[in-house]
Structure formats: C-alpha cells, structure tokens
Amino acid sequence: MAALCRCTKPEKIESKRPNILFIMSDDHAYQAISAYSDQLIKTPHIDRIAKEGLLFTNACVTNSICAPSRATILTGKHTHINGKIDNKMPFDTTQVTFPQLFQKAGYQTAMFGKLHFGNNPKGVDDFMILPGQGNYINPDFITPKGDTTITGYVTDIITDLVINWLDQKRDKEKPFMMMYLHKAPHRPWWPSPEKFAEFSKKTFREPESLFDQYKNRGTAAKSAEMNLLTHMMYSHDSKIRPETIEAMGGVEPQVTEFEHGFDGPYGRANAEQKAAYDLVLDSINNDFRQHWPSMTREEKMRWKFQRYMQDYLATISSVDDNVGRVLDYLDEAGLTNNTIVIYTSDQGFYLGEHGWFDKRFIYDESFKTPLLVRWPNQIKAGTTSDEMVQNLDFAQTFLEAAGIEAPQDMQGESLLPLLRGDTTAWTRDAVYYHYYEYPSVHMVKRHYGIVTKEFKLAHFYFDVDEWELYDRLRDPQEMNNVYDDPAYADVVKSLHLKLDELRVKYQDSPELDQKYINLYK
C-alpha cells in the first residue's frame, strides 16, 4: 500500500525493506555446529543466530556438491533445469539469478568469498571472489578491478572485506543484500596457525559407524572412494611432510596421492607463517614417524580420524569467531532488527560416519545442511522447525521478504510462513534429490531419490541399477537398506509413485538423465 501513497518518501519505504546477510560456508557439517550437537565443537556465535532466531533441523540440498548447490541457490532451480549438474560443467550465466533481481529492485548487492564458478558474478555491485576453490593462506581474489592477493588467513580476510563494505562502502539509506561466502572448512583443511596449535592437542569422540563395513547397503556405498583409512592422504590431508615419509622408507600406498598435496597450501605461507605452522607440524610428524609403523589398521583409522577432526574443526572455529565479529558489527551499526541473517553451508559432510569424509550421497550427513535464520523483526527467538526445506527455497524466500516478485519458473517455495511460525501454510511433505558427478573424484555413483520425514528412496544408476530404501525413524544412521524387505512393500510402492510425481513436477526425466550422461562424456 505504501508504494501507492505519493506522500511517502521513497527513502522511508526503502528503509523498511529488510537487509539480507547470507552467510554460507563450504562443507560445514551440521554435526559441527553446537546448535545441532555439541559433541564435537562449541560454536557460540553461529548458535547465536538460532538462539535469537530459528533452527531448521531438516534442511537439505538438492544435489550435495559445491558448484551445483550454489547454482541452485542463485537460480532457485534444480540442477537438471539450471544445467549446473556438477563442479565441471559450465554455469550458464544468461540465467536469471536472485542477486540480479535485488539489484534491479534498488538493493545494494555485494559478494565476498568463494563462489566456485565464473569470474564475473552477475547482479552484484561489488565483489571479491576466490578463484575456483581458493586458498586458505594468503589468498588470491578476483575483483571488478583485476586480480589481487591479500596476506593473511582466508576466513579473517573475507570477514574484513564484508565488514569494511558494510561500514565504508554501502549507501546507508538503501537496503543491502550481502553474500558472505567462506571457503572453510573445505579440504585441504588448513587452519590458522593459532587454531592449528590449539586443536592439534584435542581428542574427539568417534562416530559409532567409523568402522562401517557397508553390509546391507548397495554397491555405491561399497565402491565410494572417501574412506578415512584408504582414501585420506598422508600429506595433503594429514599434513605428513613428504620428507617424513621418505625418511620412513615409504608408507603403504593410497588409492590416490597428490604429488604436491602438502606444498600446495604450505608453499603459499611466508617465512613467518611457516615458522608458526612448523611448531605444530613437527610434533605431528614426529608422532607419525614414531607410532605409525607399529599401528594396527584400527589404530590407523583412529589416528586419521583425530587428525582430520583437529584440522577440520579448527577451520570451523575461525569461521565461528568471524561470524561473531559480523554479528557484533550489525549490533553496533543498529542493523540487527531488520537484517535477515542466514547461516548455511553448500551441503553437509561426513565426519567419520560410515568411515567417510566428503559428501555427494543422499544419505543424511551430506544430504542435510545447516540452516539457521535470524530476523528479530519477524522471527520468534529460539524456535525450531523440522520441515523439509531445501537450498532450492532460498531465492524465493529472500525475494518475498524484500517484496520482489519471484519469476514463475523458480522451483522452490518461500520459507516466510515457516519463519513466521505459520506451519499450516506449509504443505510440502517430500523433497527431490539428484546427484550426477560420476565417474569422478570420490567415485559416488549417480543417483536420484525422494525423501520424506520418515523414509528415503533412492535409485543408483548409470553403471548399476539399484534401489535403496531407508527407514529414517527406525534407522537414523542408515545402516540397513530395506528396499527388498517384504514388511516395507507398501512403503516402496507408494514412494515409487510419489517419486514419479516429483520427477514430473520438477520436470526431470529419463531423457534428461541420459542427456547429462551424454554431455559428461
């Protein structure tokens, strides 16, 4: 109504529109956020978003891998429609993305951090993005004015850029839409020297399924290459110097090994930074040299798990500190009440569950993603929702919150009713998932499926033709594929029908499956 009233100054209307601060990290498992579980790490600053807002406990992605998740977030469309099926396929930049719509509607828009594809994001007035995966130490950035390198630790630097833009560059009379995109905690997990020292002394609780033998599962789980013992690399991941391995006369070979896995990140550090890392590296390497040769397979698995968690969680601790800095800035600048703050990840991650690291599967740890939303003007503090929401829904949510019309062909649903606590307006009872990047790193087979709060039905295809069904309530760890269990015959039948309906609703099809197989060759 206000828009029709000539007596209202445009500035006034502008100032009522909410700001959007979209914070996304890369590969941040919900198991590593204390608002979800405090077994591994305390993340007080990220938790604050849920404490003062809403925690989604059943949020998930449509395709658990980096660039496709980002393309889905930007376009509000499933992978098979926006065409960004995997990390390799180019992103069609002629598509409408939600930042373009915000820009057109008079918002100031900016993007800092990891985008993963392209070098000229559309719809943002200002940006500094990492090329590709980016680097933890002294990272390079692509900017509208050319490339630059900044000395320091990536998580701190991205945050400095965000706070500096909010404080110095934005027009304070206009609303903003900021995409604050962390590289952490993506592999290879290089913490800041201080966090490296702190976390390398900690011991973490092992997941129950660390020694999973993949019984009662399909071929895909058995053939995936993401096992901590057999696929996590000595140098690249566990930070064993090549010289240490040489001095030991070699160690048992891995399935894959990067020649410069260690030197890639470490080689970027300057002398002072190296000196700080070296203290911790020396102790890790000495321990490895002394104990590794006499360890049993089980002990080796445990050692690798602890090394993994120490570094992965240390990078998250930096993310948490930096999220705290930004939340403090919002408070100081008086922006808190009318800014929608979202914390999410591009997908979940395995932290030793099923013996794994990485993601890709429709199984819970990688299918689900953290989602915490704060908007004091609209969301009741300390609430939770277990509705099945997806990264597909973000664009329409932000657009509706800003009063901008969403294009008809976006495929998600605005989460605004849920944010406002109105569950009756929310009718979705199942979501659709489709993963494509195979054959490729980690060798997770192509699959699509349907997930409800109770069940998960997935079809693995291409070089297999296998169906899996999990009872999410009775078997939350997804250890038993009950697809052929006669007790589930009715469930199988009804989920097949529902899956067919979802494929039609979202316009996916056997023809498209084949098209993306052909394009991949």
Distance CA 113, CA 104 (A): 23
Question: Measured at CB, which residue is nearest to Ca ion?
Answer: 66
Distance CA 399, CA 348 (A): 25
Site for Ca ion in 272-331 (CB under 5 A): none
The amino acid present at 181, given as its one-letter code, is: L
Binding test (CB under 6 A) with ligand SGN, winner from 23, 49, 65, 330: 65
Using rule CB under 6 A, residue 26 touches ligand SGN: yes
The amino acid present at 355, given as its one-letter code, is: G
Which of the choices Ca ion, ligand SGN, none does residue 389 contact, using the CB cut-off of 5 to 8 A by kind? none
Q: Which is nearer to ligand SGN, 186 or 456 (CB)?
A: 186
Distances (CA, A) of 180 to 105, 289, 322: 20, 40, 11
Site for Ca ion in 58-77 (CB under 5 A): 66
Helices (H) and strands (E) counted in the chain, each on its own, are: 18, 14
Q: Are strands 383-385 and 108-114 parallel, antiparallel or unpaired?
A: unpaired
Which of the choices Ca ion, ligand SGN, none does residue 45 contact, using the CB cut-off of 5 to 8 A by kind? none
Instruction: Quote the least distance from Cβ 26 to Ca ion, whole Å.
Output: 4
End-to-end CA distance of the chain: 54
Using rule CB under 5 A, residue 346 touches Ca ion: yes
Pattern of binders to ligand SGN over 222-261, x per CB under 6 A?
A: --------------x-------------------------
Q: Bridge-partner residues for 450, per DSSP?
A: 432, 457
C-alpha angle 111-117-121 in degrees, rounded to nearest 5: 40
Distance CA 179, CA 172 (A): 17
Q: Which is nearer to Ca ion, 304 or 360 (CB)?
A: 360
Question: Measured at CB, which residue is nearest to ligand SGN?
Answer: 66
Pairs from 7-13 (Cβ < 8 Å, separation ≥ 24): 11/173
Instruction: Quote the least distance from Cβ 231 to Ca ion, whole Å.
Output: 17
Q: Which is nearer to Ca ion, 68 or 193 (CB)?
A: 68
Instruction: Quote the least distance from Cβ 65 to ligand SGN, whole Å.
Output: 4
Using rule CB under 5 A, residue 86 touches Ca ion: no
Backbone angles phi, psi at 102, to 5 degrees: -65, -40
Pattern of binders to ligand SGN over 356-375, x per CB under 6 A?
A: --x-----------------
Using rule CB under 6 A, residue 87 touches ligand SGN: yes
- Answer whether 307's CB lies under 8 Å from 228's CB: no
Tokens of 493: 């039948």
Which of the choices ligand SGN, Ca ion, none does residue 478 contact, using the CB cut-off of 5 to 8 A by kind? none
Q: Which is nearer to Ca ion, 365 or 468 (CB)?
A: 365
Q: Which stretch binds Ca ion (CB under 5 A): 245-253, 312-320, 329-337, 340-348?
A: 340-348
Number of residues counted as binding ligand SGN (CB under 6 A) = 13
Binding test (CB under 6 A) with ligand SGN, winner from 28, 45, 187, 268: 187
For the residues of 211-245, what is the DSSP string, one character each?
A: T---TTS-HHHHH-S-BHHHHS-TTTTT---HHHH
Using rule CB under 6 A, residue 188 touches ligand SGN: yes
Which of the choices ligand SGN, Ca ion, none does residue 281 contact, using the CB cut-off of 5 to 8 A by kind? none
Using rule CB under 5 A, residue 52 touches Ca ion: no
Using rule CB under 6 A, residue 73 touches ligand SGN: no
Instruction: Quote the least distance from Cβ 166 to ligand SGN, whole Å.
Output: 27
The amino acid present at 432, given as its one-letter code, is: Y
What is the three-class DSSP state of 157? helix
For the residues of 85-128, what is the DSSP string, one character each?
A: -SSSSPP-TTS--HHHHHHHTT-EEEEEEE--S-SS-TT-SEEE
- Answer whether 144's CB lies under 8 Å from 165's CB: no
Q: Which stretch binds ligand SGN (CB under 6 A): 50-58, 101-109, 181-189, 383-391?
A: 181-189
Q: Which is nearer to ligand SGN, 27 or 413 (CB)?
A: 27
Instruction: Quote the least distance from Cβ 253 to ligand SGN, whole Å.
Output: 17
Instruction: Quote the least distance from Cβ 27 to Ca ion, whole Å.
Output: 4
Sign of the torsion formed by the C-alpha atoms of 333, 335, 336 and 340: negative
Site for ligand SGN in 268-307 (CB under 6 A): none
Binding test (CB under 6 A) with ligand SGN, winner from 17, 22, 23, 27: 27
Instruction: Quote the least distance from Cβ 358 to ligand SGN, whole Å.
Output: 5
- Answer whether 395's CB lies under 8 Å from 73's CB: yes
Using rule CB under 6 A, residue 186 touches ligand SGN: yes
Q: Which is nearer to ligand SGN, 245 or 495 (CB)?
A: 245
Binding test (CB under 6 A) with ligand SGN, winner from 54, 60, 66, 482: 66
Q: Closest Cα partner for 22 from 96, 102, 77?
A: 102
Instruction: Quote the least distance from Cβ 349 to ligand SGN, whole Å.
Output: 9
Backbone angles phi, psi at 45, to 5 degrees: -75, -40
Q: Are strands 466-471 and 455-460 parallel, antiparallel or unpaired?
A: antiparallel
Using rule CB under 5 A, residue 358 touches Ca ion: no
Distance CA 5, CA 250 (A): 77
Note the residues at the interface with Ca ion (CB under 5 A): 26-27, 66, 346
Give me the residues that bind ligand SGN (CB under 6 A), please.
26-27, 65-66, 87, 133, 186-188, 236, 358, 441-442
